[in-house]
Amino acid sequence: EAGVAQSPRYKIIEKRQSVAFWCNPISGHATLYWYQQILGQGPKLLIQFQNNGVVDDSQLPKDRFSAERLKGVDSTLKIQPAKLEDSAVYLCASSQQGAGTEAFFGQGTRLTVV
Amino acid sequence: GENVEQHPSTLSVQEGDSAVIKCTYSDSASNYFPWYKQELGKRPQLIIDIRSNVGEKKDQRIAVTLNKTAKHFSLHITETQPEDSAVYFCAADDQTGANNLFFGTGTRLTVIP
């Protein structure tokens, strides 16, 4: 079974620039999550999609972060403009049914804002 | 939302000894408690999970216990091996919202050969 795919693996940008991350979940998984993992901390949920609808975006800094899930499959997460404190690994995860089922993580995108 | 606390933040054990990592959660309605292992530079991977209708679950050298009354759960690794060295995260689901997973801050386990 193919895993969750993310790209790029690494990205370095200057503050105030914009950046986008892409995620392709496991085929058939209805639920997709984006997490932010700051160095030395646990993953923090940014947004949850169920198919192509947003279930929870309460922790997404909407003034600079946006996300979409096209046709209920692939998803993109965008930051515009980036700040130094956005430096982190951005993890995408997917699960079959959402609550109470295993979430499979991608390799993540390591973002460095300088 | 759910608040998950995890201790200790670092743990060193001799190969062959046992390791125990403890987590507490705040939402008494939480129902699902997974544990993830994350090796350096790699993705988090589920190693074991437990649901609220079970008090203990074991898978070879790994076991998880859950005390719903006290709202805490623990990961036990017996006969530790160097390849067990990694960061371990506990998590709990949030029953008040969209059933999202809230993670602890992680425990860096080092198994000394």
Q: What is the pLDDT of residues A33-78, one digit of tens each?
A: 999 999 989 999 999 998 889 988 989 999 999 999 988 899 999 9
User: Which chain B residues are Cβ-neighbours of A1 within 8 angstroms?
Assistant: none
Q: Distance between CA B79 and CA B2 in Å, rounded?
A: 32
Confidence tier at A1 by pLDDT (50, 70, 90)? low
Q: Is the pLDDT of residue B4 over 80?
A: yes
The residue type found at A67 is A
Question: Would you state the pLDDT for residue B48?
Answer: 97
Q: Single out the residue of A27, A31, A111, A110 nearest to residue A69, CA to CA.
A: A31
**Average pLDDT of span B3-23:** 97
C-alpha distances (whole Å) from A75 to each of A4, B49, B55, B100, B113 are 11, 27, 37, 18, 43
Tell me the nearest-neighbour CA distance from A10 into chain B, angstroms.
11
Q: And the tokens for B94?
A: 């949030």
Are B98 and A107 within 8 A, CB to CB? no
Per-residue model confidence (pLDDT) at position B41: 86
Facing A100 at nearest CB: one of B31, B36, B104: B31
Q: Chain A within 8 Å of B103 (Cβ-Cβ)?
A: yes
Give CA angle at A21 (A20, A26), nearest 5°.
Answer: 150
Pairing of strands A75-79, A19-24: antiparallel
Q: How many Cβ atoms sit within 10 Å of the Cβ of residue A84?
A: 10
Does B31 touch chain A if contact means CB atoms closer than 8 Å? Answer: yes
Rounded CA-CA distance A33/A54 in Å is: 10
The yes-or-no verdict on residue A19 having pLDDT over 90 is yes
pLDDT of residue A102: 86
Q: Which of A6, A33, A41, A45 should one mutate to test binding to chain B, selecting the residue with the greatest count of B CBs within 10 A?
A: A45
Q: Is the CB of residue B101 less than 8 Å away from at least one CB of chain A? A: yes
First to last CA, chain B: 40
The pLDDT value given to residue B96: 61
User: How does the average pLDDT of chain B come out, rounded?
Assistant: 93
How far, rounded to the nearest angstrom, does the alpha carbon of residue B1 sit from its chain's CA centroid? 19
Owner of token pair 């000394």: B112
